[in-house]
Amino acid sequence: MHELRGALSEGELEVGSAKQIMGEEKMIRALRAKASSRQGIDKEEILWILDQEDPALIDEISSVANGLREDLVGNQACIHGIIEFSNFCRRNCMYCGLRVGNNGLKRYRLSADEIVETAEAAVRDYGYKMFVLQSGEDLDYSTDDLVDIVKRIFDSTKTLIFLSIGERDITTYRKLYLAGARGVLFRFETSSLELYSKMHPGVSHKERLKHLKFLKETGYIVATGPIVGLRGQTRETYADDITMIRDSGALMVSFGPFIPHPDTPLADSPVIDPAEVRKFIIALRLAMPRIRIPVTTAMEHLWGDDFRKVALRSGANSFMLNLTPAGVRENYDIYPGKNIQPGHVHTLETFDCVMGIMKECGMELCRGFGLEFELTEEVFSVGCSMDDR
């Protein structure tokens, strides 16, 4: 086979590349047609996008994704605030600095009062309307504790509360919904069963997906997705990840690049190329035209403000800023130095910087659904970020 390839004449090679160009043009036409009819692309097209290497071609597909975002969800970007209230975790995920096996980490747990005060201050001082309450899988907070926290935040702020607390039983999630939580950030981490088992010893992929299903059925706005850049993932896996997000009924994506942590078994693993993450964002937008795509903290951490712009121009439409109190946030060490870089911690400077990036990309901060809390899928997909300050 290799010999045959080597024996191709120049003329044959030209015919080959002309065919390739014709194939590319045909595919771009197909992507444009689907975008203009607001139809999501399928797995074959997703895979084709992920396989492209030519920067000019990727720019072209990116502008189709950006146009679709503008057409369907407008030129507005949202900011979600994230409060990391405990770094205790009972799990031992191979990639994560919070894993129970990491004895070197200083652990913390915020009290209910501290969590509620942090959220209320962010609403009062900065105008936040959406929070993610995140922790490791910390069963020290009972169902009643969590219900109390959610209820107090919801009653006093009427904000959109996302939970990112991992696997808890269905009754807990139901009670939290009734208390006022309306969203969950719950990554399936990878669509590959084999890789999932390697990364999460003794934990079931099936159980993970079962959770995702019941969370959707309970009525939560679901944000899900993979961690990308783990050894063993391929473009085929990523295409499956994207179709898995689509099939889960998620209204928002939560995905990010893996960053090696020195105190984990994956300390020496390499980091994914940002170009791959950009193609992932493009494919997400084209596969799920209305979905919310945040530029997550790991992307900013690795590649800074430039990547924030690239991501926004490739179909992303939201940000995450960190609201965890100083003094503990340094210990939310999922990957090294996560909350030490100022870039994604909420300060006036970061806020201005994010606003500047939006402006440069032709977007503005979404001013949201007003003071009344009436959340429909439609309202969520077009907005709900912050009060005007």
84 contacts ligand 5AD (rule: CB under 6 A): no
Q: Pick from 120, 137, 236, 305 the residue near ligand SF4 by CB under 6 A.
A: 137
Taking the complex as a whole, the smallest distance from the CB of residue 284 to ligand 5AD amounts, in Å, to: 16
The residue type found at 209 is L
3-state secondary structure of 89: coil
Shortest approach of ligand SF4 to residue 70 CB, angstroms?
A: 34
Q: What are phi and psi of 274, to 5 degrees?
A: -60, -25
Give min distance, CB of 89 to ligand SF4, in A. Answer: 3
Q: Is residue 166 involved in binding ligand SF4 (CB under 6 A)?
A: yes
What sign results for the dihedral spanned by CA atoms 191, 194, 195, 196?
Answer: positive
Residue 46 interacts with ligand SF4 (CB under 6 A)?
Answer: no
Out of 115, 298, 299, 363, the only residue in the binding site for ligand 5AD (CB under 6 A) is 298
| Min separation Cβ 212 and ligand 5AD, Å | 12
In this structure, the dihedral spanned by the alpha carbons of residues 112, 113, 117 and 118, taken in order and rounded to 10 degrees, is: -40
| Count of residues in contact with ligand SF4, rule CB under 6 A | 10
136: contact with ligand SF4 by CB under 6 A: yes
State which of residues 31, 46, 78, 98 lies at the interface with ligand SF4 (CB under 6 A).
Answer: 98
Per CB under 6 A, 96 contacts ligand SF4 = yes
Please identify, using beta-carbon distances, which residue of 105 and 123 lies nearer to ligand SF4: 105
Among candidates 69, 66, 85, which has minimal Cα distance to 153?
A: 85
User: How many angstroms separate the CA atoms of 13 and 18, rounded?
Assistant: 9
Chain positions 328 to 347 lying near ligand SF4, rule: CB under 6 A, are 334
Strands 294-295 vs 181-185: parallel, antiparallel or unpaired = unpaired
- Torsion angles phi and psi, residue 99, rounded to 5: -55, 145
From the list 256, 315, 368, 383, which residue makes contact with ligand 5AD (rule: CB under 6 A)?
256
Residue (95 or 238) nearer to ligand SF4, CB: 95
**Cβ atoms of residues 137 and 86 within 8 Å:** no
User: Are 267 and 237 a contacting pair, CB within 8 Å?
Assistant: no
Give which of ligand SF4, ligand 5AD, none residue 256 binds (C-beta under 5 to 8 Å, depending on kind). Answer: ligand 5AD
Q: Token pair of 167, please?
A: 């696997």
Report, in Å, the least distance between residue 95 CB and ligand 5AD.
Answer: 4
Question: Judged by CB under 6 A, which stretch of 15-23, 33-41, 238-246, 255-263 contacts ligand 5AD?
Answer: 255-263
Q: Of the two residues 96 and 116, which places its CB atom closer to ligand 5AD in the complex?
A: 96
Residue whose pair of structure tokens reads 């014709």 in the numeric block: 22
Enumerate the H helices of the chain as residue ranges: 2-6, 10-36, 43-51, 55-73, 112-121, 143-157, 170-179, 193-199, 205-218, 235-248, 274-287, 297-312, 348-360, 377-382
In the complex, the residues that contact ligand 5AD under the rule CB under 6 A are: 95-96, 187, 189, 227, 256, 258-259, 261, 298, 334-335
In the complex, the residues that contact ligand SF4 under the rule CB under 6 A are: 89, 91, 93, 96, 98-99, 136-137, 166, 334
